[in-house]
Structures are given as C-alpha cells and as structure tokens.
Structure 1
Amino acid sequence: MNPDITRRDFATLALGALGALAAPASFAQSGSFPMKPIKIIAPFAPGGGTDYIARVVASKLGERLGQPVIVENRPGAGGILGTEFALKSPADGYTLLLVAGSYTVNPGVYKLNFDPIADMTPVIQLSRGAYVLAVNAAVPAKDLNELLELMRKAPGKITYGSSGQGGHLHVVTEYMLDLAKVKATHVPYKGTGPAITDLIAGNIQMMFAGTEAVMQHVKSGKLRALAVGTAKRLTAFPNIPTVAESGLSSYDVVAWHGLIAPKGVPAPIIEALNREINATLASKEMEDRLASNGVGTAGGSPAQFGSLLQAEVERYGKVIRQAGIKVDQ
C-alpha cells in the first residue's frame, strides 16, 4: 500500500483534531493516516523498563488509532543498531523509534553513521523520571555535601557504579563530579542490577539509579538516599533533597523516554501522532501503569522534545570530552 497521503488527507488531519480527541474511532475511520500497522523500534532487549514503556504506550495508542502498534526489539551496541535501522526506514510515519537518555550520550562516545539531531524528526516525550544518588549504608556521609567533602579529602577513593562504560548513568555521574570539582573512581557493570547488588554489598560506595531500582533498598535500610537529580524534589519522596539544593545549582537530570521518527516525515503525520499520543498519555490508566514502573507521563509538542534532545546532546558531549570517557568499538 502506498504510504503517501494526499492533500485532502492533510486537511483531514489538520481539521480533525477535536473530533479525534473526543471519539478515537473516528481517527481510523477518516480514511487518513494510519492505514496500516505502526512499528515502534525498541533498541534494547525485551523485559527492561524501556521495553515496558514502549509496550504500554503501543497497546493504548493502537486502540486510539484503530491500527496495531507493534513493538520490535532490536538491541545491540548500546542501542545504536536499532536506532540506525529506525532512522534509515522510510519517512512515512509507520516506523518510530523509542529513545531514552542514552540517545543523547551515544554521539559523544561512539562514532555514529547518523546525525542524532539532523537525521530524525521529534514526535513526543513519553515519560519523565528521576535518578537517585544512593550510597551504601556504611558510608559516613549523611548528605551530598558530606559525600563531596570525603571526595575532596581523598580524590578517587570513593567508587561509583554504573550500568556500563559510556552509558547514561556513567555520564550523569561524571556531570555531577565535574560541577563539584571532585574525583571518584568509576566501576562499570553490565546492567543496573549487578551494580546495585555490589552497592548493597559495599563493593562500591555510591551510584545514581532510577527510583524503581533504589528506593526499595533505601526503605529497607540497606542504602541511603542522598539526593535526586531533578531540579525539584519528588512528590513521592519529598524528604530527599535535590543535587541542586546541595550546592550544584545547575544540575538537573531527568530520566526520560520519547519517540522520534526518521527525517522528513510530513508535518501533518507528526502532528497527528503527537496529538493522539498526548491524549493517550493523559488517561488515568496510562498514568497508573507508568507510575507502577517508577515514572510519570510527560507529553508536549514535537518542538519541545526536539529542544530537549538538542540541549542534552550538547551538554553531555561536553561532559564526555572533559571526563575523557571512551568505549571500545
């Protein structure tokens, strides 16, 4: 089937927004996009938090669009293999890519065959979450300032874990260390789970990780939460101060997921997808399902998400250069 849409279809998309929001079935019955299943490429292995978000959104979005929305996992090379496949797919709106913070880190650590900004079209930010800076309960620091002071007195003695060399958790930790002008020793792991296990055991002293990975151990007393990376405190954990409150005022890191498309997808298709996904995210069911995985819904315009991607590529690129972060390719 020819995926191109006519000028009349464009008008239908532009003028039918209110009707689509009020009656989702009318979107599919209008004879306009989408006229076949949509594919979301998840460039990570099945079963993780990113895959969960992709499948939850796909299920509910498919109901609104009247067409199946299929999640296809294409893991490998830190998400690069699936990303390259998606961005080189036809620019017709039928192939989308699920991206997370690693998308804005990879340009600084890998030699890519695509431009992460010029070769994509932003669609929408799906979620927003937070990283918590946690330490082993035996670390003699009751707040972030005390931890930073330990690092100043013994540069490199404190060790921190991450989910992998050159990954998002590695880079956002180095970002904090750079702002504080302190040194710590990085210990990379193959995933967040093994790193948390070693943090609890005391084999490393500190780590940034998502609330879903950390807070259960904070509540049990095995770990101590010193700060959250977002600019504002978390509603669910209001007693944990932010990194910014602790003196590093410019530190603001959000753990997010979003959808992008290949470069050149017609604007009316992007607008239609953005509108329907915003409506999907606004449902109470979607909020509850994402909250069960430790994140909140986001939404917004394609331009807003594009600005976030641009800003983070630039910010983390600078951090990676200053810290000398490299990976084997």
Structure 2
Amino acid sequence: MQRRTFLAAAAATSSWAALAQSAFPNRPLTFVVPFAAGGGGDVVARMLAKELGDRIKQPIVVENRVGAGGNIGSAYVLKSKPDGYTLLNMSSTYPIQAALTKVPFDPIGDMQPIIMVSRDPAVVVVNTNSPLKNAKDLAQAAKDKPGKLSYGSAGVGSIAHVGMEELAFNMGVQMTHVPYKGSSQAFNDVMSGQVDMMLTSATYASPFIRSGRVRALGVASAQRMASMPDVPTFAEQGWPDYLLVDWKAVAAPKGVPPEVVAFLNRELNEVLRSRNVSEKFTAEGTTAVGGTPEQMMDIVRSDVERWRALAKRANLKIE
C-alpha cells in the first residue's frame, strides 16, 4: 500500500514537473518584422521586445524578413509552428496587401490576432531644401508637372505607397512612386534629395522634423499633433477626407493555444501601460491601443474593406 502511494505521488510529481517545464514561455521568442531594420515598424518591435522580454524573463529576438511588401515575413510567420514562439509584428500595410494583392496565405483565416499596439497618424515629409512648404504647394506643383514629383516607400503595396496614391487621388494629381526595400532607405533618400517626399508615421518622422532634417507638409489626422504643433493637418489645408493612420500590431499563426494567446495579450497590454512605453509614445504623438485579440481583428477586417473600396474608387491596381 505504501509502495502504491509512493508511486502515485511520484507520478503526480513527475507530471507536475513536466507541466512546469512545458509552461509558456520556456525558451526565447522571435518577433518577425516584415520590413528592413531601422524603419518605424522595426523601432516599435524592438522596443516591445525589450519590455516584454524583461517581463516574461525570456529573450526576444527581432528578425527582419523583408520583401514583397511585407508578404515574405508575414507568410513565414503564418506558416510557422503555432506555438506562440514566432510572432509577426504587422502594420497597416498588412490589410493593404490583403485587399489589393494576391498574398500566399489567407490573411484572415491563417492569422491569430494577439494585440493592437499603436495608432499613429501619417505625415508627408520633404527635404529641408524643397520648394514645397505645405500641401497646397504640393498639389500645385504636381498639377503643373504631372508625374514629375517622386515619393519613396517601403515597397509596392506598403502604406507609404498606397497612402500617397490616396492623397494623389484626392488632389487629382499624378506622382511617381519609387519603391525601396525598407522605409529607412526611402527616408534617407528624402533627406538627401534623391526623392521628393515620403509618407511615413509621425512616430518615425517627428525627431527628424523637430531637428530640422526634414519638413512636414501636413499630417493626416483630424487635429494637429502635440508633438508637432506647427504642422497643419491636410483637413486644414483643404483635404478633409484625407485621414490616414499607420498602426502596429502583433499576430501569430492560427492554431496557437488559447492560453498562450491570453498570456501574450495580457503581458503586452501591461507593456503598453508601462511608463517606458507610454512616455515614449506620448512624446512622439503615438497612441497606445492595447485591447483584445477580437478588437484587433475587427480593425484588420475594417481596413481590408477600406482599401478595397479605395482601389475600386480610384482604379488603383498593385502589380
């Protein structure tokens, strides 16, 4: 009897130990950024990785997998093992690709939302030596010489591409798109004068605007931003319908266990509430979002429909 009791207790202890060893996370995680290092999404991903890693006591590796407007990195994550260790740091480019291109995955069915991280108004910037001082200058110059003005982006189908096409449609003008492998490369060429302008996030651009390295023509928000109080909105300048937000989020492949999804969502919500993150976001005009996986999926679905409607209205095609 004592032997049976001892064996039962040993078995229970062994089972508990195995469960404890398998508890998530018990090894490093990987954040996949589908764009080049140095861009806005990469900056946010590295900040989240540092704060989340400190909380869960596991290293988080940030890996850049670039190409195809973010689809290479997205496909890599969505086809990876659904165990919660490989996560996608997606952006508002994701629903654009889903709406306008043939992606190598089901953008809704293959994706497990984790959390919406941030919302960041888009801003259009030019070189400090540019003759363009505001959005009206841009519209007039583009009308005077159709197709001459150029803008850079992180690639075909990125928000920096399609967002500028939306602005051109609203203004009734044509501009030339110059795609790069990442937003940081495009931004560098704006500063050096190789391309005329770029649409980017306020978080990424604000330090360069404040230091005078680029000039902002307008911000695509309903009100001016506290971080850039001198930059007028496009609505103020005559384009009230041009409202564009660049968001960041974290997702995983479909099939991740519900308890792992809940754990990641809870911990990332705490990261977004942390002083380090909230102060940095506030200083740069970014709004931390947080919330549930279901709320994130609602935003993704809504954006897919928004970009499909724009493509139909503006006869926009992405090759």
TM-score normalized with structure 2 length: 0.78
Q: 1:45 to 1:224 in 2, by over 3 A?
A: closer
Q: Give the CA deviation at 1:159.
A: 3.0
Distance 1:63 1:145 in 2: 47
Larger radius of gyration: 2
Q: Secondary structure at the match of 2:304?
A: helix
SS at match of 2:294: helix
- Is 1:131 matched up with 2:85? no
Q: Find the counterpart in structure 2 of residue 63 from structure 1.
A: 54
Gaps of 5+ in 1: 1-28
Q: Aligned residue for 1:277?
A: 268
RMSD over equivalenced CA pairs, Å: 3.3
Q: Which residue of structure 2 lines up, in the alignment, with residue 24 of structure 1?
A: none
Q: Tell me how far apart the structure 2 counterparts of residues 87 and 151 of structure 1 sit (CA, whole Å).
A: 40
> 1:261 deviation in Å?
1.6
1:145 shift after superposition: 2.9
CA distance in 2, matches of 1:193, 1:88: 27
Alignment-mate amino acid for residue 181 of structure 1: G
8 Å CA contact 1:141–1:147 kept in 2: the answer is: yes
CA distance in 2, matches of 1:224, 1:66: 41
Aligned partner (choices 119, 130, 138) of residue 147 of structure 1: 138
Letter in 2 for 1:187: V
Secondary structure class of the residue paired with 1:130: strand
Q: Which string of whole-angstrom CA distances, capped at 9 and with x for unpartnered residues, describes residues 250-307 of structure 1? A: 3222222210122233444323321221111111122345578885533222222212
How many aligned residue pairs are there?
299
5+ residue gaps, structure 2: 1-18
Query: What residue number does 1:34 align with?
Result: 24
C-alpha distance in structure 2 between counterparts of 1:221 and 1:52, whole Å: 21
Please point out which of 160, 173, 183 is paired with 1:182: 173
Contact 2:311 2:317 in 1 (8 A): yes
Matching residue's letter, 2:318: K
Q: Counterpart amino acid of 2:173?
A: V
Letter in 2 for 1:77: A
Q: Aligned AA for 1:306? A: M
Per the alignment, residue 17 of structure 1 pairs with none
| Contact 1:107–1:317 (8 Å) recurs in 2 | no
Which stretch has the larger CA shift, 41-50 or 93-102? 41-50
Q: How does 1:37-48 map to 2 (within 5 A)?
A: 37=27, 38-48=29-39
Q: Name the residue aligned to 2:303.
A: 312
Q: Which moved more, 1:117-126 or 1:42-51?
A: 42-51
Query: Within 2, Cα distance between the matches of 1:174 and 1:53?
Result: 25
- Per the alignment, residue 318 of structure 2 pairs with 326
Whether the 8 Å CA contact 2:69–2:154 is kept in 1: the answer is no
Q: Does 1:86 align with 2:77?
A: yes
Aligned equivalent of 1:7: none
Other-structure match for 1:227: 218
Is the 8 Å Cα contact of residues 125 and 298 (structure 1) preserved in structure 2? yes
Secondary structure of 2:233 counterpart: coil
Q: Distance in 2 between matches of 1:257 and 1:213?
A: 12
Q: Which residue of 2 aligns with 1:23?
A: none
Q: Which moved more, 1:258-267 or 1:182-191?
A: 182-191
Superposed CA offset, 1:103-160 (max 9, x none)? 2222345422211122112111223333321234565554323432343444334333
Residue of structure 1 equivalent to 2:197: 206
- Give 1:237 shift: 0.7
What's the % identity of the aligned pairs?
38
Aligned position for 1:117: 108
Task: Describe the superposition over 1:157-195 as per-residue Cα deviations: whole angstroms up to 9, x where unpaired.
Answer: 433333333322111000111123222232334444454
